[in-house]
A and B are shown apart, each in its own frame.
Chain A
Amino acid sequence: MESVPVIQLEDISKTYLMGAGHVNALRGITISVAPGEMAAIMGPSGSGKSTLLNVIGCLDRPTGGRYFLDGVNVSEMSKEQLARVRNKKIGFVFQGFNLLSRVTAAANVQLPLLYTDEKPQPNKKEIERRAMEALSWVGLKEYGHHLPTQLSGGQQQRVAIARALVNSPSIILADEPTGALDTRTGMEVMDVIQRLNLQKNITVIIVTHEFNIAQYCQRIIRVRDGRIQEDLRVDRPRVAAEDLKEMPVEVEE
């Protein structure tokens, strides 16, 4: 029943040269992720989670091994081609939100659309319409004209999610998306991500320290010292929307 994997890593390694010595951040990672899957990557600090996610996101190139994204070998692509792949197929969500602080939420969401190579190029109106649609999807329809500093952490992270989904990517990659948020807000963000996965069928990979967060995924990949230590399927992942309902509103950390 497995379809063609959206992500297929074959013996991926990544070595950083550091002055005299070198750091093996990834040492032969082989995994495949099916379309529509929602997976968590866990592991101790320094185990190579972020490095792995960056390789999957085409932000970084592996030093060894092969990587097929949607069946295409991206490990041999030029920087230019990788930028195009990121723009078209991948959405990032970071721990620190990484929004442009000087422009509005709407302008942040529009950013990927400015770099699209879609033909014909979407006009200003179309760009605004799609950004607004993405903002509404994360429940921030009314906040388009706010600056990031005028938004709470959770709201900022939802703007970042809107930005990640505005180009209709096939994958969304999130590096500790709840790391800077309190429990409830974190859960709200997880709810948005989970809905993205379930309703839009976007493949999601989340790097997290917290088992609570990993519980919402269908699969948990444990990494240690740049190797895969464990790759588990979760039979019945928790649903963030349900947990949110049970959570008393007043209680905060």
Chain B
Amino acid sequence: MKPVYLKPESLKDVVTSYCPGCGHGLVHRLIAEVIDELKVREKTIGIAPVGCAVYAYDYFNFDVAEAPHGRPPAVATAIKRCLPDRIVFTYQGDGDLASIGTNEIIHAANRGENITVIFINNANYGMTGGQMAPTTLPGMRTTTTQKGRDSKLHGFPLRVSELLATLEGTVYIERVSLIDPANVIKTKKAIKKAFSNQLTGTGFSFVEVLSPCPVNWGLKPLEALKFVKDQMIPYFKLGILKDKTEEMKKEKGA
């Protein structure tokens, strides 16, 4: 009998430390499937963030480095410049990428580094126990906004994809979600495109995944998906924010 569902070779056969219903594990799997399908496992170098995904090297079955908090884009820049034919990607949460590491992500994007960035937006700081993130929604309760985020005090949620789309150096930017199987498939398609672009040397590709964090949100896994759908998506609109892929491919003769 032909098996229809196997563990991707790019994932190790281990139990992750992620909470039930967390989006990280799912996105890890999608990345692993894409890397298998593109047959680049043996030339991929991943950069883990500081955040819940810090242990990504325990889960991915390829080379992984753990960067200081927020610095994965700087680390990835150097790796890609030293080894241009390898596949280099960063995997970052919203504290890592949109707060402490805003400088690094903006400049890596603006330089048009030929890397892939997978950005997990779960609207809070998961690893440190659910504090406010730059992406926390107005009125949303976190351990440091116990009465709900007050935009007068804490400003507004940062739309990183929109921000990066304004930069000349970026090629492909899409925001996706994991709210149902159809959207999971869309997410995988976006991730695959973001990695394929690197293979053709097309340039900086960025996928923002709206990801559930049931434990820190105080919701059950299904309720958390509903929260993404009803609360997050209206603020963080899904879809392609920028796509110069075909244009860049022509330019490169790819």
Tell me whether A and B are bound partners. no
A residues at B contact (CB < 8 Å): none
